[in-house]
Amino acid sequence: MHSGFCQQGKKTQEYISVPEVGLKSISEAPLTTTGCSCLPAVCRNSSYCAEVSIHLTVVQKTAARDIAYPQVLFTFTSGKIICPNLWEFTTNRTNMELQWYKDALPLEDDNEKFVFLKESSSLFFTSVLPSDSGYYTCKMAFPYEGVTYEITRTIELQTVEQEKRITPIIVYPTQKATSAALGSKMTLPCKVLAGPNNNIYTDVEWLANDTTIDVVYKHNRVMEGERQEITENGENFIEVPLIFESVEELDFYTDFKCLAQNRYGSQVLPTRVKQEAAGLPWYIATIPVALACVILLGICIQKRWKQRADKGYTIAKV
């Protein structure tokens, strides 16, 4: 294939044979023109001829924002930026070495912050900091027919604070068992700390024998209450109660679990319902009181007899 460029009736470049590079690669070669131009190009081979127009804008090196490729990395994680659109210049090449710059200053190979890999178009960060944002430039030498061109790409790196990854924490119930009397009503809340970020959905549910409540208790004698989202001291809490309309003996042999989970992890808290100790009969409960009364009565009788003995007659001395 042969291609040629003309600008305002003048030859900018002679027809060049580009069997491997192609029209787009030639358009990215350095030009001395400034401003915006429309370049009609003629592409032809032995059986086909086409004429197209390419709009080319040449900017100053200081106008980095206009030609930069935007890329994003999360802070306090490892990551990489990629020198884009090099495939046209790296076909059938075995040695591809890039030079990297930040704000026009070269990055040194011995910098522990960066990792440079040969034959790679990426620049690796061991740990991304907010100060790493800015403009990065990658340069590569491109030899063609005895002439070495410099391929340059500019990358605008934006660092974004990563959302805090918080696994939900169940803060209530704290006890492993809750006492309840047969036939009584009871509410067992499950309170979960979801963290400061309410953009992360946290699911909270109750299980009975590792099965959802509505499957085990189909008649809604035991059911989940309404989900409540609470904010306390800047922290988000989620509370889902387990409601017993009437406690039955079956509940004492059921394993209940509160399950809280989000995309970062989960926590499970098992708990049981145990039967409340039966109350003592009334006459047994009165025994201590009756015994105390008997003791007090005995003390009073003893004092009475002692007083009478002190008032008795004594034999007069001669």
Residue 199 identity (one-letter amino acid): N
If one compares 37 and 270, the residue with the highest pLDDT of the two is 270
Residue 73 gets which letter from DSSP? E
What was the pLDDT predicted at 39?
57
Residue 52: pLDDT band with limits 50, 70, 90: low
Q: What does the alpha-carbon distance between residue 29 and residue 207 come to, in Å, rounded to a whole number?
A: 67
Question: Hey, how many other C-beta atoms are within 10 angstroms of the C-beta on 271?
Answer: 18
CA dihedral 96, 97, 101, 105 (to 10 degrees): -150
Strands 211-212, 122-125: parallel, antiparallel or unpaired by DSSP?
A: unpaired
- Which tens digit of pLDDT belongs to each residue from 57-108? 666 666 667 788 999 998 888 999 999 988 777 766 656 788 999 988 999 8
Residue 24 identity (one-letter amino acid): K
**What residues pair up with 238 in beta bridges, in sequence order?**
192, 229
Strands 265-275, 177-180: parallel, antiparallel or unpaired by DSSP?
A: parallel
What was the pLDDT predicted at 274?
92
Q: What does the alpha-carbon distance between residue 139 and residue 231 come to, in Å, rounded to a whole number?
A: 52
- Which tens digit of pLDDT belongs to each residue from 149-198? 888 999 999 998 876 667 899 998 887 888 999 999 999 999 999 877 66
Q: 169-275 maps to which CATH number?
A: 2.60.40.10
Domain ranges of the chain: 2-58, 64-160, 169-275
- Which tens digit of pLDDT belongs to each residue from 124-146? 999 999 999 999 999 988 888 88
Q: What does the alpha-carbon distance between residue 58 and residue 170 come to, in Å, rounded to a whole number?
A: 60
- Does the pLDDT value for residue 267 go beyond 90? yes
Q: What percent of the chain has pLDDT over 70?
A: 69
- Which tens digit of pLDDT belongs to each residue from 5-50? 444 444 444 444 444 444 443 434 444 444 555 556 666 666 666 6
Q: Please determine whether the domains at 64-160 and 169-275 fall in the same fold group of CATH.
A: yes
For residue 190, count CB atoms less than 10 angstroms from its CB and return exposed for 0-12, middle for 13-18, buried for 19 or more.
buried
What was the pLDDT predicted at 5?
47
What was the pLDDT predicted at 269?
93
What is the fold, at CATH topology level, of the domain defined by 64-160? Immunoglobulin-like (2.60.40)
Contact 112, 125 (CB under 8 A): no
- Which tens digit of pLDDT belongs to each residue from 200-234? 789 999 999 999 999 999 999 999 999 999 988 87
Contact 174, 270 (CB under 8 A): no
Q: What is the largest CA-CA distance in the chain?
A: 169
- Which tens digit of pLDDT belongs to each residue from 273-290? 999 876 555 556 677 777
